[in-house]
Amino acid sequence: MARTLAMFTDTSLCIGCRACQVACKQWNELGQEVPEWTGTYQNHAHFTDKTFRLVRFIEEPKPQGQMAWLLMSDVCKHCADAGCLNACPTGAIERTAFGTVNINQDVCNGCRYCVSACPFGVVTFNHDTGTAHKCSFCNDRIHNGLGPACAKACPTESIQFGFRDDLVAKATKRVAALQAMGFKEAQLYGADSQGFLGGLNAFFLLLAKPATYNLPDNPQVPQRNVVRDSVFSLGSALLVGLGAIFAFRRRGEGKESDHA
């Protein structure tokens, strides 16, 4: 196995421009969506089958009247212990030689176990293809020696792509520097390979508690092949029920029908 590749998103450098979001959409040819009113600049509210990179906009008024606007480009975490991969009954979700987690569209049967198994709400179901979708770190690009489209576009290097060990070392230094500058809550999220989910291959530097960014404090992977409760489980379960019918109809194949 090659050295693990990773994406380090340093939110202290993010200016919320959403170049990553559009560059991802452009390269991966993800289609048009109708946005919803979120009350902020953010669109869309959640990851979708057409939005793999999502910039979050979080207003944090401080008690002294000062303001913080936390900006964060969120993405699939490519967990070392990946709930989606564990849950996949067909082997469509695979770990590549670079450590990334990828959904093989030719194998995916649209069962959506992965959708509910993801502790981050990343994996989504596409009704047109009848398959699950998510960020692949631009699998075609990285296998051809190019970095992912989002990291390439990012104007401020908030999104950095490289070997995981290099990036973790860099991130560790950066978080110490920020703390010294007075960002008391600056912390890494998912950098520790001894930590939750065996570490995330897309890890983050946050300027506030994970919950502020809509990230679970201690995400857990569901037991293999069992859909367990998570913050997303209710909606996901509904989707599983509805979507699988579509998938069955669309594909006309029997193999995914056992959980429909």
| List of residues contacting other proteins (CB under 8 A) | 2-3, 5, 13, 15-19, 21-23, 25-27, 31-41, 43, 59, 61, 65-71, 98, 139-147, 149, 152-157, 161-162
User: What is the total residue count of the chain?
Assistant: 260
Amino acid at residue number 54: L
> Which CB, 4 or 236, lies closer to other proteins?
4
Q: Per the structure block, which two tokens stand in for 128?
A: 């047109």
Q: Smallest distance, Å, CB 139 to other proteins?
A: 6
> Which CB, 23 or 88, lies closer to other proteins?
23
Quote the distance between the C-alpha of residue 23 and its chain's center: 16
**Residues 259, 245: Cα–Cα separation, whole Å:** 10
> Which CB, 127 or 152, lies closer to other proteins?
152
> Which CB, 36 or 229, lies closer to other proteins?
36
Q: Smallest distance, Å, CB 210 to other proteins?
A: 19
Q: Smallest distance, Å, CB 154 to other proteins?
A: 7
- The phi, psi pair for 202, rounded to 5°, reads -115, 105
* Residue 3, CA distances (Å) to 6, 97, 99, 144 in order: 10, 8, 8, 15
Closest alpha carbon to 174 in 145, 147, 206, 146: 206
> Which CB, 156 or 179, lies closer to other proteins?
156
Q: Smallest distance, Å, CB 15 to other proteins?
A: 4
Strands (E), 45-120: 54-61, 67-74, 93-95, 101-103
Q: Smallest distance, Å, CB 53 to other proteins?
A: 11
